[in-house]
Structure 1
Amino acid sequence: MENDPPTATVTDAPVVFPRVGYSILSFLMFINTVFSVFNNGLVIAVMLRNASLLQPMNVLILSLAVSDLMIALCGSLVATVTNYQGSYFIGHAACVFQGFSVNYFGLVSLCTLTLLAFERYNLVCRPKAAFRLSMRRSLQGLLFVWVFCLFWAVAPLLGWSSYGPEGVQTSCSLAWEERSWSNYSYLILYTLLCFIAPVAIIIYCYFHVLKSLRKLNRSLELQGGHSRKSENDHAVTMVLAMITAFFVCWLPYTALSVVVVVDPELRIPPLIATLPMYFAKTSPVYNPIIYFFSNKQRLLAPCQGHGVENEVENGVVGGRMKRGG
């Protein structure tokens, strides 16, 4: 009808950022994409070519590598091209697909990190618990993670919230700026269950892992076990690296989510709204290094021709966590 207002599309979005700013973002996303694809692709290739590496804990890391690779391909790669162009020029359907993909695989990565933290907590702090990590248990946990995250990623496609351009209008995600009770109700539950809850679980688990490792180190010092203490020092360092990388990548995004939920009328500047999303997109670079390549047992196992069963039974993070005695 002639009197109907024109419908805006992602290609109609006004330029909200200087040209040089888009160029910088494009370059950073290009570097991020290259390292993310290489690191995670290598993890996947090494694991699939060496069946001995497919142990229960490593299956979780393989799942993490797959979801991180998809974040790079669906998020960082697209952001490289659109930032180079200076606008989201590939259309509304691509915007919705990117928003869905990045949301889904981002949540899968975050929840897999939570699952890894929980299993390491059980391994270090509750080694004699009734349940032990097994392949069946790992696969059940991953099935829950992928289905749980799929629900929250599909909901906006069905009308509960929506996907659209974010920040400087060169990438797409959840419509954080949409002002409606439907969107607000989704964001409240999404923030609580998909961000705050995982963050709380990770903090709790790694706090107790660090506490147990430091207690073990004091015991080893008294026994004169310098070699074992050195390995446990490495484990402590890697746990701290996990925590630091997690917060650098995800805390800004979580903080933005909380701010939007607490004050839905707050208008956030485009650049401030964009940065947390870009920090989250860097996680696929760090995760393979921290969770896979830092582990000598995983890297040497293919050359030595044997598995890493001992790493699953005794290991935690980069080195093997050994108990005194």
Structure 2
Amino acid sequence: MRGSRQQELPENFFIPIPLDTNNITALSPFLVPQDHLGNTGIFYVMAAFMFFIFVVGTIINSLTVACTIQYKKLRSHLNYILVNLAVSNLIVATVGSSTCFVCFCNRYMIVGPTGCKIEGFAATLGGMVSLWSLAVVAFERWLVVCKPLGNFAFKPHHAIACCAATWVFAIIASAPPLFGWSRYIPEGFQCSCGPDWYTSNNKYNNESYVYFLFGFCFAVPFATICFCYSQLLFMLKSAAKAQAESASTQKAEREVTRMVVVMVIGFLFCWAPYAIFALWVVNNRGQAFDLRLATIPSCMSKASTVYNPMIYILLNKQFRTCLKKMLGMNASEDDESTTSSVTEVSKVGPA
């Protein structure tokens, strides 16, 4: 029954929960509040959460970019990649989270089908850039610390090229739904948009797109991250013995490694539920599930725009010290004394 109703509905419209009504098109998420999906309080709570993500994410990522522009000592190859994360977070916060805030306030996709596509594309693009950036950070750490290429030096222009590659990969992953391979439609409480992973439609080949997205933009980067950091952990253990006299270098390496590892764990915390949920639906067609639950992984993924910069600002003393100076705050002696040590990270290598 649900499948036959979907076929009768307009092209860009989908009701996630079967309802006993003869006028189902009157419930379009582009036309009327979706109060049949939950009480008003739930929508307003989600609106408040999206507003928080929008405001805090925009402010903290903007400060990160501004701080890097102002202080030359922050323009290292590792920090270039972290700034790349900040820019992708800004896209998700300013376009994705702000649109969701407005829609949750109105309790439906008030921006219409075009706005839905823009929001879905922006959130997917920013998310894919973030994931690939984390893979690049892990790859850079592996090259610099483990030295698999011998004396190869990872320089700023290499970092810039890697940052550009993350955007190319992200566009390859996020653009297809705009051109007919899958599509961007309302999800969950119908106040946010994402790729269509929950309907079976031969015209859009949704299943193949989900597999592509999971493999190319989740499994491959994650495998890269796991390999690089496993090698890095072995190398750090060896370096600790070989360079026991260089306490500052060892401390700096531990700080940066801890920072990126925490970022990876945090990113997986927000994006793994989305990927797993989508794969489960694709591989369990016909199984009953409540699509309102899709709102949870969607909102969790957008929260990465806040915790990513908080992690690398709180754990990167060089960033933190410069940020305090830019805001007119006095950096602590601990921050000042350890700032220079962070720049020594790239010098750690095998004995």
In the other structure, the counterpart of 2:227 is: 204
Instruction: State how 1:31-42 maps to structure 2 within 5 Å.
Output: 31-42=52-63
Choose the corresponding residue for 1:241, options 259, 262, 267: 262
Give, in whole Å, the separation in 2 of the partners of 1:44 and 1:236.
21
In the other structure, the counterpart of 2:3 is: none
In the other structure, the counterpart of 2:212 is: 189
- Classify 1:226/1:50 alpha carbon distance in 2 versus 1 (closer, same or farther; 3 Å): closer
Deviates most, 249-258 or 7-16: 7-16
In the other structure, the counterpart of 1:252 is: 273
User: Counterpart amino acid of 1:201?
Assistant: T
Deviates most, 256-265 or 281-290: 256-265
User: Counterpart amino acid of 1:290?
Assistant: I
- Classify 1:126/1:101 alpha carbon distance in 2 versus 1 (closer, same or farther; 3 Å): same
User: Counterpart amino acid of 1:188?
Assistant: Y
TM-score (norm 1): 0.84
In the other structure, the counterpart of 2:345 is: 315
- Classify 1:6/1:209 alpha carbon distance in 2 versus 1 (closer, same or farther; 3 Å): closer
Task: Give the % identical residues.
Answer: 28
In the other structure, the counterpart of 2:30 is: 11
Instruction: Give the 3-state SS of the residue equivalent to 2:86 in structure 1.
Output: helix
Instruction: State how 1:54-73 maps to structure 2 within 5 Å.
Output: 54-73=75-94
Q: Which runs of 5+ in 2 are unaligned?
A: 1-6, 14-27, 326-330, 332-338
Give, in whole Å, the separation in 1 of the partners of 2:252 and 2:218.
32
- Per the TM alignment, residue 309 of structure 1 is displaced from its structure 2 partner at its CA by 9.1
Contact between 1:217 and 1:232, CA under 8 Å: does it hold in 2?
A: no
1:99 and 2:120 equivalent?
A: yes
Contact between 1:55 and 1:309, CA under 8 Å: does it hold in 2?
A: no
Give, in whole Å, the separation in 2 of the partners of 1:49 and 1:231.
23
- Per the TM alignment, residue 63 of structure 1 is displaced from its structure 2 partner at its CA by 1.3
Choose the corresponding residue for 1:83, options 104, 108, 124: 104
Contact between 1:206 and 1:239, CA under 8 Å: does it hold in 2?
A: no
- Classify 1:265/1:136 alpha carbon distance in 2 versus 1 (closer, same or farther; 3 Å): farther
Paired residues, what number? 313
- Per the TM alignment, residue 265 of structure 1 is displaced from its structure 2 partner at its CA by 3.9
Contact between 1:71 and 1:281, CA under 8 Å: does it hold in 2?
A: yes
User: Counterpart amino acid of 2:46?
Assistant: L
Instruction: Give the 3-state SS of the residue equivalent to 1:151 in structure 2.
Output: helix
Deviates most, 45-54 or 95-104: 45-54
Give, in whole Å, the separation in 2 of the partners of 1:236 and 1:194.
23
In the other structure, the counterpart of 2:176 is: 155
Contact between 1:57 and 1:133, CA under 8 Å: does it hold in 2?
A: no
In the other structure, the counterpart of 2:300 is: 279
Contact between 2:61 and 2:309, CA under 8 Å: does it hold in 1?
A: yes
Give, in whole Å, the separation in 2 of the partners of 1:245 and 1:120.
18
- Per the TM alignment, residue 260 of structure 1 is displaced from its structure 2 partner at its CA by 3.0
TM-score (norm 2): 0.79
Instruction: Give the 3-state SS of the residue equivalent to 2:150 in structure 1.
Output: coil
Q: In the TM superposition, what whole-angstrom CA distance separates every residue of 1:273-292 from its partner, at most 9, and x where no partner exists?
A: 12111111111111112234
Contact between 1:196 and 1:254, CA under 8 Å: does it hold in 2?
A: no
User: Counterpart amino acid of 1:61?
Assistant: L
- Classify 1:232/1:194 alpha carbon distance in 2 versus 1 (closer, same or farther; 3 Å): closer
Give, in whole Å, the separation in 2 of the partners of 1:71 and 1:91.
19
- Per the TM alignment, residue 293 of structure 1 is displaced from its structure 2 partner at its CA by 4.4
Q: In the TM superposition, what whole-angstrom CA distance separates every residue of 1:207-230 from its partner, at most 9, and x where no partner exists?
A: 32233324434556xx47666555
Contact between 1:213 and 1:236, CA under 8 Å: does it hold in 2?
A: no
What value does the CA root-mean-square deviation take over the aligned residues? 3.0
Contact between 2:146 and 2:350, CA under 8 Å: does it hold in 1?
A: no
- Classify 1:100/1:231 alpha carbon distance in 2 versus 1 (closer, same or farther; 3 Å): closer
User: Counterpart amino acid of 1:18?
Assistant: N
Give, in whole Å, the separation in 2 of the partners of 1:132 and 1:309.
20
Instruction: Give the 3-state SS of the residue equivalent to 1:244 in structure 2.
Output: helix
Give, in whole Å, the separation in 2 of the partners of 1:154 and 1:227.
45
Q: Which runs of 5+ in 1 are unaligned?
A: none
Give, in whole Å, the separation in 1 of the partners of 2:249 and 2:321.
19
User: Counterpart amino acid of 1:165?
Assistant: P
